[in-house]
Amino acid sequence: MEDVELFAYRREDGSVGVRNHVAIISVDHAGAVVAEGVSKLLRGVEAVTHQYGRLQFGEDLQLTFNTLIGVGCNPNVAAAVVVGIEPNWTSKIAKEIAKRSKKPVESVWVIGQGTISAIAEAAKKARELVSYVSEIRREPCRLSEIVIGVKCGASDTTSGIASNPVIGKVGEWIVDIGGTFIFGETTELAGAENIIASRFENEGEKRKFLEVFDNYVKFAKSKGVDILGSQPTQENIAGGLTTIEEKALGNIQKVPDRPIKGVLKPAERPPGKGLWFMDSSSSAQEQVTLLAAAGAAIHLFSTGKGNTVGHQILPVIKVTGNPITAKQMKDNIDVDVSGITLGQMSLEDGARRLYEFMIKVANGKLTAAEILKHDNFAITRLYPSM
Amino acid sequence: MKVYLHDEKDNVVVALDNLKPGDKIEAKGKVITVRQEIPFGHKVAIENIPKGSYIIKYGEVIGVATTNIEEGEHVHIHNLKSLKYT
List pLDDT tens digits, range B2-60. Answer: 899 999 999 999 999 899 999 999 999 999 999 999 998 999 999 999 999 999 999 99
Phi, then psi, of A366 in degrees rounded to 5: -80, 145
User: Which amino acid does the sequence have at A127?
Assistant: R
Given a cut of 70, is residue B1 above it in pLDDT? no
Determine the average pLDDT of the residues in B66-86: 92
Pairing outcome for strands A147-153 and A298-303: parallel
Please name which of A14, A18, A6 lies closest in space to residue A298, comparing C-alpha atoms: A18
Contacts B10 to A, Cβ<8 Å: none
**Confidence band of B86 (pLDDT split at 50, 70, 90):** low
Given a cut of 70, is residue B85 above it in pLDDT? no
Distance between CA atoms of residues A88 and A349, nearest Å? 53
The answer to whether residues A186 and A216 touch, using CB atoms and an 8 Å cutoff, is: yes
Please name which of A259, A300, A253 lies closest in space to residue A276, comparing C-alpha atoms: A259
Q: Which residues contact A317 (CB under 8 A, 6 or more apart)?
A: A298, A299, A300, A301, A334, A335, A354, A357, A358, A361, A367
Please name which of A365, A295, A300, A359 lies closest in space to residue A143, comparing C-alpha atoms: A359
Residues of chain B that touch chain A, judged by Cβ-Cβ distance less than 8 Å: 2, 4, 6, 14-16, 39-43, 57-58, 60-63, 75-77, 80-85
**Bridge partners of B43?**
B14, B75
Please name which of B84, B56, B83 lies closest in space to residue B69, comparing C-alpha atoms: B56
Contacts A242 to B, Cβ<8 Å: 43, 62-63, 75-77, 80, 82
pLDDT of residue A359: 98
Q: Which of B2, B39, B77 sits opposite A242 (nearest CB)?
A: B77
**Bridge partners of A316?**
A299
User: How many CA atoms lie within 13 Å of A1's alpha carbon, on the beta-carbon side?
Assistant: 23
| Contact call for A343 and B2, based on CB within 8 A | yes
Report the chain A residue with the minimal C-alpha distance to residue B38: A240
Phi, then psi, of A332 in degrees rounded to 5: -95, -10
| Contact call for B2 and A156, based on CB within 8 A | no
Q: What are the angstrom distances between the C-alpha of A344 and each of B3, B10, B14, B23? A: 12, 21, 16, 20
Distance between CA atoms of residues A59 and A358, nearest Å? 35
| Contact call for B85 and A229, based on CB within 8 A | yes
SS3 A202: coil
pLDDT of residue B63: 96
Q: Which of A157, A246, A342 sits opposite B62 (nearest CB)?
A: A246
pLDDT values of chain A reduced to their tens digit, one per residue, 386 residues: 889 999 999 999 999 999 999 999 999 999 999 999 999 999 999 999 999 999 999 999 999 999 999 999 999 999 999 999 999 999 999 999 999 999 999 999 999 999 999 999 999 999 999 999 999 999 999 999 999 999 998 888 899 999 999 999 999 999 999 999 999 999 889 889 999 999 999 999 999 999 999 998 899 889 998 877 778 888 788 889 999 899 999 999 999 999 999 999 999 999 999 999 999 988 999 999 999 999 999 999 999 989 999 999 999 999 999 999 999 999 999 999 999 998 899 999 999 999 999 999 999 999 999 999 999 999 999 999 99
Distance between CA atoms of residues A186 and A331, nearest Å? 30
The answer to whether residues A16 and A10 touch, using CB atoms and an 8 Å cutoff, is: yes
Distance between CA atoms of residues A21 and A48, nearest Å? 11
Angle, vertex CA A75, rays to CA A170 and CA A382, nearest 5: 85
0.90 surpassed by pTM: yes
SS3 A8: strand
Q: Which residues contact B43 (CB under 8 A, 6 or more apart)?
A: A240, A242, B12, B13, B14, B15, B55, B57, B74, B75, B76, B80
